[in-house]
Amino acid sequence: MRTYATMARHTPDFFLHSGDTIYADGPMQDEVDLPDGGKWKNVVLPDEKRKVAETLDEYRGQWKYNMLDEHVRALNAQVPTFMQWDDHEVVNNWSASKDLTADDRYTEKSVHVLAARAAQAFHEMTPLRITPAEPNRVYRKINYGPMLDVFFLDLRSYRGPNGASQESEINADSTILGSEQMAWLKRELTNSTATWKVIACDMPIGLVVPDGEKIEGVANKNDGAPGGRELEIAELLRFIKNARVQNTVWFTADVHYTAAHYYNPDKAQFQDFEPFWEFVSGPLHAGTFGPNALDATFGPELKFVKAPAEGQVNLPPSAACSSLASWTLTRRPSR
């Protein structure tokens, strides 16, 4: 995983990993045939990486697999790492309503059981320096001196089922943040005195992320007034404006390419917010896909993109087009 070595060469102050830290649902083959006739050869753990993770030990094994890489170990030895999770720590596109009945790879069909085991492995392997009352809580704030607060969100644990995301009110079906996390975020943003407030969110805001015919992400691809999961984001953006919270920047991931979006209320269907930037990138050393369509609800303008060419999906690392589900931040001397 040479991306880790590239990050280390920049001697960052810390490494922000935006989720999909492992691929617990991604069994690996010893060899993969490449389009040019070559072969990609994998390092494979026989007991953990040749099947999907179901037991606690198999989830732990996914982390063990990443730690086999010398570049991962070297970065971990010299750079503080702040972790959050997304879906592949458990199973692709998971929520509490995930139905595994027809997935023959799984003998354990309860996503609640799988999520509990995955959460235990996540917290064992990436212990968080917080002691929340809620077991396995991931959302939190990291204060990094007077200039920076990082607010880590969790768009997995409290979401409603993936569906059409057309609801006209926030309810159990349309939620993605949940009321307690939303209240916490509003409170912490208001109390923050840091110059910059980074919102580390495991999924992008304005990119359409499908789950078959359903909606996996926030944007519902209607290009109109907020609906479904967009409602909570609209509420949050309105609050940030009305509370006069300054200098918010969003770092997001999940999709398999890199982009920079400028959210412009003048171009949006919902306009009650201050403009802001979102930087999207994910995940490290996984196949490349995209780019995804943009939804106009919050007026995102595409300012930068690095994605595979049309028809060239799931490129291997040897194609030198891997994306980066993480961010390294380096504090430069003031001038």
CATH number at residue 71: 3.60.21.70
Query: Rounded to an integer, what distance in angstroms lies between the CA atom of residue 13 and that of residue 121?
Result: 26
Phi/psi of residue 83, each to 5°?
A: -110, 145
Q: Select the more confidently predicted residue: 330 or 52.
A: 52
Range of the domain at 187: 2-326
pTM of the entire structure? Answer: 0.92
Neighbours of 67 (CB within 10 A): 11
285 occurs within a structural domain: yes
Give the per-residue pLDDT at 189.
98
Give the ranges where 151-250 is alpha helix by DSSP (H): 179-191, 230-242
312 occurs within a structural domain: yes
CA-nearest of 322, 329, 247, 277 to 16 is 329
pLDDT at 195 over 60: yes
pLDDT at 242 over 70: yes
What number of helices (H) and strands (E) belong to the chain?
6, 14
> CB neighbours of 117 closer than 8 A, spacing ≥ 6?
53, 54, 55, 56, 59
Query: Rounded to an integer, what distance in angstroms lies between the CA atom of residue 191 and that of residue 64?
Result: 39
Report pLDDT digits (tens) over 61-119. Answer: 999 999 999 999 999 999 999 999 999 999 999 999 999 999 999 999 999 999 999 99
331 occurs within a structural domain: no
334 occurs within a structural domain: no
CA 322 to chain centroid: 16
Q: What is the largest CA-CA distance in the chain?
A: 59
Write out the two tokens for 85. 């999770």
Quick one: average pLDDT of 120-141?
A: 86
Query: Rounded to an integer, what distance in angstroms lies between the CA atom of residue 117 and that of residue 269?
Result: 41
Number of domains in the chain: 1
Looking at the chain, the whole-number percentage of residues with pLDDT higher than 70 is 94
150 occurs within a structural domain: yes
Instruction: Give me the residues paired with residue 215 across strands.
Output: 163, 210
pLDDT at 323 over 70: no
Query: Rounded to an integer, what distance in angstroms lies between the CA atom of residue 33 and that of residue 220?
Result: 36
Report pLDDT digits (tens) over 285-295. Answer: 888 888 999 99
Residue pair 220/213 in contact by the 8 Å Cβ criterion: no
Looking at the chain, the whole-number percentage of residues with pLDDT higher than 90 is 78
Give the ranges where the chain is alpha helix by DSSP (H): 2-9, 56-67, 70-78, 111-125, 179-191, 230-242
